[in-house]
């Protein structure tokens, strides 16, 4: 492979590739991914444990002020049961994700202990901004990984869409997580209002500079009950070029083919897996809750149960010509 120029200007130019140039970029990324992961796709099960959120982010369907959402918080037994069945199905990593619901903090620690004692399983948390004390409590309980998206590295856009958040604070949370020894992941949304290709290039440079273990991103998709309901959705081509560049710039990172990318296009996840992604994250949330974890319109799998979501992910991986690693803690 020829060596690429990863200056901000050149990345922005590559993000706009179409046709043959885009194909070449994505197949270079796919070849590199196969070289590193041997054609294997890692499996992570998402459990959306609560949709209660203290924040009011402009893009998000479960924002505090959306009073059309029926709020839920799974109890510890319900969560443990989902972990039990996920393990039986072959999951060896689960991601506990929620809105910023700090009433769950103690329960989460106890659930992590339960899972780590009983199973050979990795626990990933995606529970938002917390104090160092809470991050440490969860790490001490045995949590392995943490996902906290920066959402955008353009500070003006960050501020515009996050009425409750501070960019520096988010960066500090990521630094704390890395210092505590979590395998740390971040990510962004692609196609936010006012976001330019230059901004996305800077997102990619930010990923590279901070050496994250995981990089998760997808298109911004408007939700009908949010201030950004009239905004446009990103194009799949841009998401795939971003995926390819993300791989080329972060050889060993875990890069999921995300639910948002699968929502944008029925073949979105398959194409992401052929453009540099190496992870798939089916939804394991029980059907009765998942309908309420409605982050953006038409979210993939809202009416499926956990078995359907796994079966569908298996098809996606097969369609991409890769092998899904079931029963392997990777």
According to the binding rule CB under 6 A, does residue 289 interact with ligand 5AD?
no
Query: Is the Cβ of residue 201 or residue 228 nearer to ligand 5AD in the bound state?
Result: 228
Query: Is the Cβ of residue 29 or residue 295 nearer to ligand 5AD in the bound state?
Result: 295
Query: Is the Cβ of residue 51 or residue 122 nearer to ligand 5AD in the bound state?
Result: 51
Stretch that binds ligand 5AD, among 72-80, 218-226, 264-272, 286-294 (CB under 6 A): 218-226
Scanning residues 180 to 199, which ones bind ligand 5AD (CB under 6 A)?
189
Stretch that binds ligand 5AD, among 2-10, 19-27, 177-185, 213-221 (CB under 6 A): 213-221
According to the binding rule CB under 6 A, does residue 290 interact with ligand 5AD?
no
How many binding residues for ligand 5AD (CB under 6 A)?
12
Q: How far apart are CA 185 and CA 150, in angstroms?
A: 10
According to the binding rule CB under 6 A, does residue 150 interact with ligand 5AD?
no
Among 73, 149, 287, 330, binds ligand 5AD (CB under 6 A): 149
Asked if residue 268 lies in contact with residue 230, where contact means CB atoms within 8 angstroms, the answer is no
Query: Is the Cβ of residue 57 or residue 306 nearer to ligand 5AD in the bound state?
Result: 57
Name the token pair of 225: 């009950």
Contact mark string toward ligand 5AD, 58..77, x via CB under 6 A:
-xx-----------------
According to the binding rule CB under 6 A, does residue 295 interact with ligand 5AD?
yes
Query: Is the Cβ of residue 59 or residue 182 nearer to ligand 5AD in the bound state?
Result: 59
Q: Which residue is nearest to ligand 5AD (CB)?
A: 296
Minimum distance between the CB of residue 97 and ligand 5AD, rounded to whole angstroms?
Answer: 6
Please state the φ and ψ torsions of residue 311, each to the nearest 5 degrees. -60, -40
Residue carrying structure tokens 């098809």: 315
Query: Is the Cβ of residue 167 or residue 220 nearer to ligand 5AD in the bound state?
Result: 220
Among 41, 111, 260, 264, binds ligand 5AD (CB under 6 A): 260
Minimum distance between the CB of residue 220 and ligand 5AD, rounded to whole angstroms?
Answer: 5
Among 221, 240, 253, 316, binds ligand 5AD (CB under 6 A): 221
SS (H, E, C) the chain: CCCCCCCHHHHHHHHCCCHHHHHHHHHHHHHHHHHHHCCEEEECEEEEEECCCCCCCCCCCCCCCCCCCCCCECCHHHHHHHHHHHHHHCCCEEEEEECCCHHHHHHHHHHHHHHHHHCCCEEEEECCCCCHHHHHHHHHHCCCEEECCCECCCHHHHHHHCCCCCHHHHHHHHHHHHHCCCEEEEEEEECCCCCCHHHHHHHHHHHHHHCCCEEEEEECCCCCCCCCCCCCCCCHHHHHHHHHHHHHHCCCCECEECHHHHHHCCCHHHHHHCCCCCEECCECCCHHHHCCCCCCCCCCCCCCCHHHHHHHHHHHHHHCCCEEECCCCC
Query: Is the Cβ of residue 39 or residue 193 nearer to ligand 5AD in the bound state?
Result: 193
Stretch that binds ligand 5AD, among 65-73, 134-142, 216-224, 282-290 (CB under 6 A): 216-224
Asked if residue 191 lies in contact with residue 234, where contact means CB atoms within 8 angstroms, the answer is yes
Query: Is the Cβ of residue 238 or residue 260 nearer to ligand 5AD in the bound state?
Result: 260
Among 28, 48, 129, 151, binds ligand 5AD (CB under 6 A): 151
Name the token pair of 250: 């972060």
241-219-236 Cα angle (round to 5) = 45
Binding site for ligand 5AD (CB under 6 A): 59-60, 149, 151, 189, 218, 220-221, 223, 260, 295-296
């Amino acid at each position: 492979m020829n060596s690429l120029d990863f200056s901000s200007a050149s990345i922005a130019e590559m993000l706009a590739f179409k046709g043959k140039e885009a194909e070449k970029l994505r197949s270079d990324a796919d070849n590199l991914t196969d070289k590193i992961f041997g054609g294997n796709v890692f499996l992570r099960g998402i459990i959306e444990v609560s949709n209660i959120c203290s924040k009011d982010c402009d893009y998000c369907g479960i924002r505090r002020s959306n009073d059309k959402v029926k709020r839920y918080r799974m109890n510890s037994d319900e969560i443990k049961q989902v972990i039990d069945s996920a393990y039986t199905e072959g999951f060896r990593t689960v991601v506990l994700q929620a809105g910023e619901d700090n009433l769950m903090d103690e329960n989460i620690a106890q659930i992590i202990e339960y899972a780590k004692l009983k199973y050979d399983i990795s626990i990933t948390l995606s529970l938002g901004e917390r104090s160092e004390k809470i991050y440490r409590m969860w790490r001490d309980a045995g949590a392995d990984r943490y996902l906290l998206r920066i959402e955008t590295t353009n500070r003006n856009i960050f501020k515009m869409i996050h009425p409750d958040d501070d960019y520096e604070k988010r960066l500090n949370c990521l630094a704390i997580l890395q210092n505590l020894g979590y395998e740390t992941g971040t990510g962004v949304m692609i196609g936010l209002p006012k976001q330019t290709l230059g901004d996305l290039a800077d997102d990619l440079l930010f990923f590279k500079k901070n050496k994250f273990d995981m990089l998760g991103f997808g298109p911004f998709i408007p939700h009908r009950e949010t201030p950004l309901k009239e905004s446009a959705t990103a194009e799949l081509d841009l998401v795939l070029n971003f995926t390819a560049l993300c791989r080329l710039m972060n050889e060993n990172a875990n890069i999921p083919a995300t639910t948002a990318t699968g929502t944008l296009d029925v073949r979105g996840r398959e194409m992401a897996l052929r453009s540099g992604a190496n992870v798939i994250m089916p939804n394991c949330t029980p059907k009765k809750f998942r309908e309420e974890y409605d982050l953006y319109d038409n979210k993939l799998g809202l009416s499926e149960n956990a078995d359907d979501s796994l079966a569908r992910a298996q098809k996606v991986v097969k369609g991409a010509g890769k092998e899904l690693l079931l029963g392997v803690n990777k």
